[in-house]
């Protein structure tokens, strides 16, 4: 973990995500470390809309991570390990990864509820064991 020193005189405002509320009266311990940045290049995913029709039932996602490590691609959820796992593995830093997502995978997920829009999140665990946060 890297040591972090907030700038003098500046207030630091923390907002908690994922429905988390810090308990009243309890101290919050902030740990700073390397967090992987995930990026999707232009044109990714290859399709943003598809269905079960043959030949039109999948999309291809290209993505890169600033840090290597384990990754998870989840449908829904508000943070690593909270959504439906589509695929997982390990990636190298700044290396193009290619992930195919099919209608069959989506429809098999517990969060699937028929036609509509679904959000997918890519999480990479950095060398400091910190998963990419939910954005």
Partner 1 sequence: MANNFNITIDSAYPTAPAVQVADSDSGAWVTHNLQVKISLEKPTAQSTTHYKVWGTANAATEGAASWVAWPGGSQATVTGTLADVATKQTLYAKFKNDGVEESSVVTASGVYFSWTDPSISNTVQWKDAFSTVDYDAASFATLQNTVDNIEIELNKSNIPGLSFDSVDLSGLSVSGDRIIVEDSSAFAELINGAEVNKVSVQKVFDADEQPMIAVDTGSGLTTITAYDGSIKTTQSGTHGSRVENINYNSNTKTLTFDIKEFSTYGFTTINKVEFSSTTGGGYNGNAIQIEVTVRDTNNETVESAPVTITKVSGDTIGSFASNPVNTDSNGVATFTLNLNSNGTCVFDAYVDDKHTADDLTAWCIATPASLQRSLLTQYEQIRNSATYSDTVSGVNNQAVAEPSGSTYDAGSDDVLEHDMNVFRTLLQQIKGTTNWYDELGTYFDPTATSSGKELTLDNIAGNTLDSKTIILAVTEDQSGSGWSTSSGTEGILWTTTLLYADSENRRGLPIFKSVTNSGTYYDEGGSDDVCRIDLINSSTGAEFEDASGNEIYAKFHDAADHGGTGEYTDVYVKFYTDLGEYTFTGDDPTNISFVYPFRKVLSEMEEHEWQRTDFVSSWEGDAELVEDVSNMWSFTGAGDDITGPSFNNTGNNYMLSPSDSSLTEAINSINDEFGDFTYTEQNYVTDNESTTASLDALDIGVKDVNDLVTAGSGDKYVEELSGDLSAGTLHSLPAGVTYTPDATIGQEGKNMEVFINGQLLAASTGANGVNADRDYAETTASGITFHLDLWTGTNITYVVRQ
The binding site for partner 1 (CB under 8 A) comprises 37-40, 42-56, 58-63, 68-71, 87-101, 103, 106, 114-125, 132, 135
- Pick the closer one to partner 1 by CB: 23 or 69: 69
With CA atoms as reference, report the closest residue to 123 among 45, 40, 48, 38. 38
- Give CA–CA dist 42/45, Å, rounded: 8
Smallest separation, CB 50 to partner 1 (Å) = 6
What is d(CA 69, CA 32) in angstroms, rounded to the nearest whole number?
18
Task: Provide the minimum distance between the beta carbon of 57 and partner 1 in the complex, in angstroms, as a whole number.
Answer: 9
**In the complex with partner 1, which residue's Cβ is closer, 17 or 22?**
17
């Amino acid at each position: 973990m890297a040591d972090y020193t907030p700038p003098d005189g500046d207030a630091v405002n923390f907002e908690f995500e994922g429905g988390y509320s810090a308990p009243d009266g309890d101290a919050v311990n902030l740990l700073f470390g390397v967090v992987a940045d995930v990026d999707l290049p232009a044109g990714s995913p290859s399709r943003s809309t598809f269905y079960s029709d043959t030949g039109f039932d999948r999309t291809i996602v290209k993505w890169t991570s600033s840090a290597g490590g384990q990754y998870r691609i989840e449908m829904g959820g508000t943070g690593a390990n909270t959504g439906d796992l589509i695929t997982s593995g390990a990636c190298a830093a700044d290396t193009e990864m290619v992930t195919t997502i099919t209608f069959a995978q989506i429809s098999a997920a517990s969060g699937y509820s028929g036609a509509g829009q679904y959000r997918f999140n890519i999480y990479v665990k950095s060398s400091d064991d910190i998963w990419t946060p939910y954005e």
